[in-house]
Amino acid sequence: MSHSKLPDTGTTIFTVMSQLATEYNAINLGQGFPDFNMSEELISLVNKAMLNGYNQYVHTNGLGVLREKLAVKAEKLYKTNINPETQITVTPGGTYAIYTALTAILQKDDEVIVFEPAYDSYIPNIIINGAKPVLVQLQFPGYSIPWDEVKNKITRKTKAIIINSPHNPTGMVLSETDIEELKSITQNTNILIVSDEVYEHLIFDDIPHRSILRYPELLERSFVCFSFGKTYNCTGWKVGYCISSALLMKEFRKVHQFNCFSCNSFVQYALAEFLDNEEAYLFLGNFIQRKRDYLQSLMKQTGFNAIPSHGSYFQCYSYKDISEENDMDFAIRLTKEVGVTTVPLSSFYQSKKDDKVLRFCFAKKEETLRLASERLQNL
Ligand code: PMP
């Protein structure tokens, strides 16, 4: 199209790699979704809600009882006092929440600080709103944030900073020092924060999740985005929510009400009931950590080198001891010739920076991980 609003945006790498995996019948450790079963109890609750007739529109901000339960959860986990009436909106997924937040605040020519490697929706979300992504690369190989560079890139036009912890694709998690830096950079400014916390429960090694919800001075300038898909191993359900200050939420809802209006009803009834079961989300970190560790132990038999991951569904592995190919070619060859699909890290950089690293999704059955690593040993 001659006047495309996103002239440089193609098909997301996740779709590209998943299609390739299907075509070549490869084991798909590319896209981030579990291949194991979700809770049957939660499925029954959804069935029950539908059969009980909860099939009509619910409130545009989300089912009241669900928002109340989410406020209680936030209070328990992060010692924060959230008003479910004014500060929580249920959304069709975390990605939608991020898009809605950015659309609610961005004006033409605003600047948004984005850390790379970056989840692939952020930059198109900024550009479609007429704003400009200002890129800061995390420091390879630890993927820590270079705060001095962030400070240097802040201008009068900086409207927001997007943060993501635990981080996709690297598994990096924010430390208390990062939070202090964020506080000091934003205090006495109008800079807003969009915090992508969809992996809040997928955090390992006894590290606490440093949710923005814990820090009132940050929360007042933040949209914090969550995903039930990640919390309950049901990524296909596409339900999430956003928590922010009441002032920011008012703007968020102006966009939301004329975009999706309200999310599917029966899942919200089911989630509201299931949230009483704290174990269902509290056990998740350990459960997924065991999968990270299992894949890591198997990968020792291969030429890949693990880069530490402390959260998310993902771990990055360097293949520089195996091949000098660029990461895209290498990932395609792995799918076609070895039968294992991953995601090349260059696809998370605008510059296509190639550190010879692939992202592996370990949220899979042990059998899947074992089979994949056996194939990789033959390289
Ligand atoms: N943010 C990040 C960093 C993600 O990895 C994902 C899932 N791929 C999302 C947001 C989206 O979550 P949802 O499926 O709920 O839209």
Question: What is the model's pLDDT at position 11?
Answer: 86
Question: What is the model's pLDDT at position 234?
Answer: 97
**What is the residue-wise DSSP string for 115-156?**
EES--TTHHHHHHTTT-EEEEEE-BTTTTB--HHHHHHH--T
Same domain for 293 and 373, yes or no, is yes
pLDDT range class, residue 185, cuts 50, 70, 90: very high
Question: What is the model's pLDDT at position 290?
Answer: 98
Same domain for 74 and 132, yes or no, is yes
The CATH number covering residue 94 comes to 3.40.640.10
- The answer to whether residue 79 sits within a structural domain is yes
Domain stop point among 224, 253, 277: 277
How many angstroms does the Cα of residue 81 sit away from the middle of ligand 1? 25
The answer, yes or no, to whether residue 335 has pLDDT greater than 90, is yes
312 Rama class: left (phi>0) / alpha (psi -120 to 50) / beta: left
Same domain for 135 and 243, yes or no, is yes
Question: What is the model's pLDDT at position 183?
Answer: 98
The answer, yes or no, to whether residue 12 has pLDDT greater than 80, is yes
Alpha helices per DSSP H over the chain:
13-23, 40-51, 64-78, 84-87, 94-105, 122-127, 147-153, 176-186, 216-219, 228-231, 246-256, 265-274, 279-282, 284-299, 327-333, 366-377
Q: Is 32 in the pocket of ligand 1 (CB under 6 A)?
A: yes
Same domain for 21 and 106, yes or no, is no
Q: Is 119 in the pocket of ligand 1 (CB under 6 A)?
A: yes
How many angstroms does the Cα of residue 293 sit away from the middle of ligand 1? 23
Same domain for 150 and 249, yes or no, is yes
Q: Is 198 in the pocket of ligand 1 (CB under 6 A)?
A: yes
265-274 helix and 40-51 helix, angle to the nearest 10 degrees: 130
How many angstroms does the Cα of residue 2 sit away from the middle of ligand 1? 30
Domain count of the fold of the chain: 2
Tokens of 367: 């059998």
Provide the Cα torsion 5, 10, 13, 14; round to 10°.
70
Ligand 1: atom nearest CA of 14 is: 8
Q: Is 171 in the pocket of ligand 1 (CB under 6 A)?
A: no
User: What residues make up the domain containing 310?
Assistant: 13-31+283-377
The stretch 274-291 carries a mean pLDDT of 96
The residue whose C-alpha atom lies closest to atom 8 belonging to ligand 1 is 32
Same domain for 298 and 184, yes or no, is no
- The answer to whether residue 325 sits within a structural domain is yes
How many angstroms does the Cα of residue 67 sit away from the middle of ligand 1? 20
* Residues in the chain, total: 379
Question: What is the model's pLDDT at position 3?
Answer: 86
- The answer to whether residue 344 sits within a structural domain is yes
Mind listing the pLDDT tens digit for each residue in 359-371?
999 999 999 999 9
Same domain for 52 and 175, yes or no, is yes
Residues 6+ apart with CB under 8 A from 344: 13, 326, 327, 328, 330, 331, 354, 357, 358, 359
Q: Is 133 in the pocket of ligand 1 (CB under 6 A)?
A: no
Q: Is 327 in the pocket of ligand 1 (CB under 6 A)?
A: no
The answer, yes or no, to whether residue 110 has pLDDT greater than 80, is yes
Q: Is 346 in the pocket of ligand 1 (CB under 6 A)?
A: no
Ligand 1: atom nearest CA of 31 is: 8
Contact between 344 and 327 under an 8 Å Cβ cutoff? The reply is: yes
Q: Is 168 in the pocket of ligand 1 (CB under 6 A)?
A: yes
Q: Is 200 in the pocket of ligand 1 (CB under 6 A)?
A: no
CB atoms within 10 A of CB 157: 13
Question: What is the model's pLDDT at position 259?
Answer: 95
- The answer to whether residue 5 sits within a structural domain is no
Domain stop point among 255, 277, 299: 277
Of the two residues 12 and 46, the one the predictor is more confident about is 46
Q: Is 235 in the pocket of ligand 1 (CB under 6 A)?
A: yes
Mean pLDDT of the chain: 97
Q: Is 34 in the pocket of ligand 1 (CB under 6 A)?
A: no
Same domain for 254 and 115, yes or no, is yes
How many angstroms does the Cα of residue 259 sit away from the middle of ligand 1? 19
DSSP state of 311: B
Rounded to whole angstroms, the Cα distance separating 167 from 197 reads 8
How many angstroms does the Cα of residue 18 sit away from the middle of ligand 1? 16
The answer, yes or no, to whether residue 2 has pLDDT greater than 80, is no
- The answer to whether residue 1 sits within a structural domain is no
Domain stop point among 277, 297, 317: 277
Question: What is the model's pLDDT at position 14?
Answer: 86
Sheet holding 88-91, edge to edge: 88-91, 240-244, 222-227, 192-196, 158-164, 111-116, 132-137
- The answer to whether residue 149 sits within a structural domain is yes
The answer, yes or no, to whether residue 1 has pLDDT greater than 90, is no
* Best residue among 121, 143, 227, 264 to mutate for probing ligand 1, ranked by most atoms within 8 Å of CB: 227
Q: Which residue has the tokens 């820590």?
A: 144
Q: Is 88 helix (H, G, I), strand (E, B) or coil?
A: strand
Of the two residues 7 and 64, the one the predictor is more confident about is 64
The CATH number covering residue 310 comes to 3.90.1150.10
- The answer to whether residue 4 sits within a structural domain is no
- The answer to whether residue 57 sits within a structural domain is yes
Same domain for 289 and 250, yes or no, is no
Same domain for 221 and 306, yes or no, is no
Same domain for 287 and 259, yes or no, is no
Percent over 70 (pLDDT), the chain: 99
DSSP state of 39: -
Q: Is 94 in the pocket of ligand 1 (CB under 6 A)?
A: yes
Same domain for 348 and 213, yes or no, is no
